[in-house]
Amino acid sequence: MLVALRNMSYAEAAREAYPSKKRPAQTGFQASRSRAVAARIDYLRKETEQIQTDARAEFIKYDHIAKIAGSEERETFWTDLMRDNAERTRDRLAASELLGKKQRDFIQQVESKTLTATVDLSQFSLEDLKSILAEVKQKRMLNDGTGTTE
């Protein structure tokens, strides 16, 4: 493994792996002659290359993402631009508006009037109910500004 991952010679790898052995060069030479050891080293080299390739690809991916300004960086940029008196007024106002939108300073307020009532309809005749419905439609039409009934 040391041969594959650290590009050591067989003797260096044997010396590091078996520090108590008296003849690491001979142990390393014997290991170099083994087909199983050679196959394992070849496999580990290929695995190492694949891991390095994958790591490079991940680095490139995240390096690209790191180049995209985050929320805090944009807010800082807009704040700096807004406060820079050397910039044009319209640019400073635009930065101020973007900053305000980001921080939700501009809230659209919508007023809604809703009436909820519970009515026992059994006390009304069919003609009364039709008349009430027609009146509600007429008021809705006037409030909508359409001037026409559906």
Express each pLDDT in 28-87 by its tens digit. Answer: 667 667 777 777 777 877 888 888 888 888 877 776 666 777 888 889 999 999 999 999
Q: Is the same domain home to 60 and 78?
A: no
Do residues 25 and 42 share a domain?
yes
In the structure, what pLDDT confidence band is assigned to residue 4 with cuts at 50, 70 and 90?
A: very low
Q: Which domain holds residue 13?
A: 2-66
The reply to whether 41 falls in a domain is yes
36 within a domain of the structure (yes/no): yes
Residues 79 and 58 occupy one common structural domain? no
Tokens of 92: 């400073």
Beta-carbon contacts of residue 28 (< 8 Å; ≥ 6 apart)? 9, 10, 11, 12, 13, 14, 15
Q: Are residues 22 and 58 in the same domain?
A: yes
| Residue with more model confidence, 147 or 75 | 75
Tell me: do 10 and 35 sit in the same domain: yes
Residue bearing the bigger pLDDT, 140 or 28:
140
Q: Are residues 6 and 61 in the same domain?
A: yes
Domain check: are 62 and 76 in the same one?
no
The reply to whether 59 falls in a domain is yes
Number of domains in the chain: 2
